[in-house]
Structure 1
Amino acid sequence: MAVVAIDVNCDMGEGFGAWQLRETDDDILIKLISSANIATGFHAGDPSLMDRTVRMAAEHGVGVGAHPGYRDLQGFGRRRIDGSTAELVNDIIYQVGAVREFAKRHGTVLQHVKPHGALYMELAVNEEFSDAFVRYMRKVQPDTAIFCMDMSVTYEIARAAGQPVIREFFADRDYADDGSIVFTRRVGRLDPDAIAEKVVKACKTGKVTTVTGNEIGIDFESICFHSDTLGSAEIATAMRQRLTESGIRIVPVSQILGRESPKRQEDTHEQG
């Protein structure tokens, strides 16, 4: 795998009311990415913050994505919540609809849906849940991409159903030998240059070094980093610089899927 064009996505709008995450500056990050995963109110976010974040994305030509999570404000969507498949899919529908309406308000479209946190991980291994989620997308958003991991059942089901799907590489997370993400709550800042080197290596070789020191193969079309990672703006800046220096273009998901970029109210803006 040698990548020449890549999407860069980031979770955004993850405050609530007067509360904002430390070290998060969406005004800076929106200029460094090509896709925004916008919190939809269950794990973070509120209507006014959704409106502001979607507006910024539209103004900067950044793809708008819904970032639905478990109904878990206190735990930031990182705790698994038991519920029937129907209940959980209805929660996703509710949240996706919110961002879709704000996208319409600002003259753009819903580019993708990326589940958040524990919901993302549950979908990755739960065939029944992923199947119901993909069937909803096929009926209501058949041209909207699903963001997921290469090793997930979500990817396999979406691909088999013909739903557009984008696989992610996690820049600011570690990998286990089986290709899964090792979720540990870090203390202190990560090294932006080390992360940029990791990303460029993955793009050029299709490999990542795991926590045990092994090299594993990984396929992806988008690079993900998190706005709540300490020093996220520095990480994004270093990644963008190293990718550009390495001849790897940052492009909208529409280009990766071989489509025309959606037109917005004023003009079409493309990140390079």
Structure 2
Amino acid sequence: MPPPSIVRRVQRFRLPEVFLGLLSISVAFVLVSHVASGAIHDARHTHDTIGVTASAKEPISANLVQWSLTVRGEAARATGAARRLRREAVAVNRFLRRAGIPAAAITPSVVRSEEIVVQLPHHRRKTTYRVSQTLEISTRQIDLVEAVAPRIGTLLERGIEVEAEPLAYLSTELTQAKLDALGAATAEAHRRAEILVKGLGGKLGAMRSSSLGVYQVTPRDSTDVTDYGINDTSSREKDVTAVVNATFAVKR
């Protein structure tokens, strides 16, 4: 059996080993707790998002004009109304051609006829027939049509029964203008979200979702807006407005 002094010396050397083991366990527990806490914090902010709404306008000019003229002939008999319509349609066509509108730009519609009955006293009635035809004009020569339209009154002065619709200004580049407005609105939504998130001390992440509102095609500088959209044809110069609702991820 070893002397007591030797036993005490061995026990004195074992105590630090036990202490170091306990210290290691404590440090490991603290590290695991810190990592777990960080993981929980990150998990809480994984679904942080911000939603913004932005709009953008794209100017566009009409490059096509459409104009409708309706010619009518009325008489006591259907045959007489048809003959009168033919004469007056020829006169209107001649007027348009002399004004410089090409024949290829004029499209006549199907002839329509109707019977008009007017009740008279003593159980009598008067029957007349009205025959009509619409001439559809479609051309890129907008300046020419704008110059001709105010002169339609000269036909009425000659007794020709013709009715003119307002000019309709269209653009064959409307689809591209809508895409350009959509791109600008999306970029504006990103810019706004970035400013807001930066003010909160975070960083903007990827776009999570987006939705497009209805397009508003309005006269230039107009502020008109409707829930179902606007498709203006009354003005030559227009604005195409797109509205985007976007949701972005937020990084803490």
TM-score surpassing 0.5? no
Q: Which has the higher strand share?
A: 2
Higher relative contact order (CA 8 A, sep 6+): 2
TM-score bracket for the superposition, by shorter chain length: under 0.3
* Higher Rg: 2
TM-score by length of 2: 0.20
TM-score by length of 1: 0.19
